[in-house]
Amino acid sequence: MRAIVKTFFAVALGCASVATPAAARELVRVAWVKALVSGPLMIAKEKGYFNQADLDVEFELAGTAANLMPMLATNRLQVLEGGLQANIFGAIAQNLPIVIASDRASEPTGHYLLIRPELRGVVKGVADLKGRTIAAGATGSVFYYEMDRLLNSAGLSLKDVEMKTVGITQLGAGFRNGAIDAGIAYTPFTHLLPAQNLAAQLLAIDTVIKRITTAVTMINTDWARQKPDVARRFFVALSRGVRDFCQGYHHGSNRAEVQDILARTGVVDDPELFKYFWGSRRASGEVDVESVVDVYDWFAREGAVARGLPVEKLVDNSFVRAANAELGPFVVENAADRTPGCE
């Protein structure tokens, strides 16, 4: 009888052990604006880096980061990747729990100034844009900063041209019907529009503006403070994805694998686009503070945001620095590759 009782309790305990659910993974909600430089998020997802960090990461594709800033501020999102815009600085100026925590897109950006094909030979440089109509995306976008910096290089400013809000997908129509003379574009439009004879490349933005950051990764600081280990694990996993992305960028042995992930997850719609330009983001993930501050100062001078925000309110590189300390130095596998960026 005692043996039967012991067996019963052993089986019962064994069943109870099996029935006990495993500890739930920590949920992290991430929104991202579609661009090749968001590839590391999908790489970390597909290669299991988030799972290995015991994270359940939910992704939301955003049309623009500006629309989701309220969700980030209220912790309905913990991470948001998108363009460097005035509304980011505006949110921080309102003491909302937001900070820039990682680089997402930096030089070389692949941004080009395009002109109408009919203006080849007429508009030979930035100075020839005086009095012309220029598209630069939504007001408050980093494109306005870029355009003003370009014009400054020729002794001009935004006051010397007519700025028009035209979405990137509408640039071709704007050039075709003569509504705009020039516009800033990014990959793949920098190559697709000229290929369709809807535009001509005038110059690469990076040839005039050095050390520019055009997109960033933002986080909710309340979340990071309340769950520091979760934030640490997230950035370690993301950093692993960034490193894989950068190895592919530099034509490493994983390039085909990375391209397959980016195509399969919808980061890139057409694999043919890989022939053109890979966006660059810093392998270290560190934000170029000087570049971000310069963009912020420009928006402040334009009256778009409040002045006087301290650097530490804008950028916090501690998360990526901790990830790099844990992962060790990044070394480009293909040392013979001389492609600038992603280092």
**What's the confidence (pLDDT) of residue 167?**
85
- Angle of helix 289-301 relative to helix 86-93, nearest 10 degrees? 90
Nearest Cα to Cα of residue 168 among 197, 145, 190, 146: 190
**What's the confidence (pLDDT) of residue 277?**
83
Burial class, 312, CB count within 10 angstroms (exposed 0-12 / middle 13-18 / buried 19+): exposed
| CATH code for the domain defined by 112-207 | 3.40.190.10
Looking up tokens 């630069």 gives 136
Provide the residue-wise pLDDT of the chain in tens; the chain has 343 residues. Answer: 444 444 433 434 444 434 434 457 999 999 998 888 999 999 999 999 999 999 999 999 987 888 899 999 999 999 999 999 999 999 999 999 999 999 999 989 989 999 999 999 999 999 999 999 999 877 888 999 999 999 999 999 999 999 999 988 899 999 999 999 999 998 888 888 999 999 999 999 999 998 899 999 999 999 999 999 999 999 999 999 999 999 999 999 999 999 999 999 999 888 888 887 888 999 999 999 999 999 999 999 999 999 999 999 999 999 999 999 999 999 999 999 999 999 8
- Angle of helix 228-249 relative to helix 318-327, nearest 10 degrees? 70
Nearest Cα to Cα of residue 85 among 152, 140, 47, 163: 140
Domain positions in the chain: 26-107+212-327, 112-207
CA distance 197 to 188: 14
Count CA atoms closer than 13 A to 236's CA, side-chain side.
20
- 26-107+212-327 against 112-207: fold identical: yes
Three-state secondary structure string covering 225-240: HHCHHHHHHHHHHHHH
Architecture of domain 26-107+212-327: 3-Layer(aba) Sandwich (3.40)
Q: Report DSSP state, residue 72.
A: H
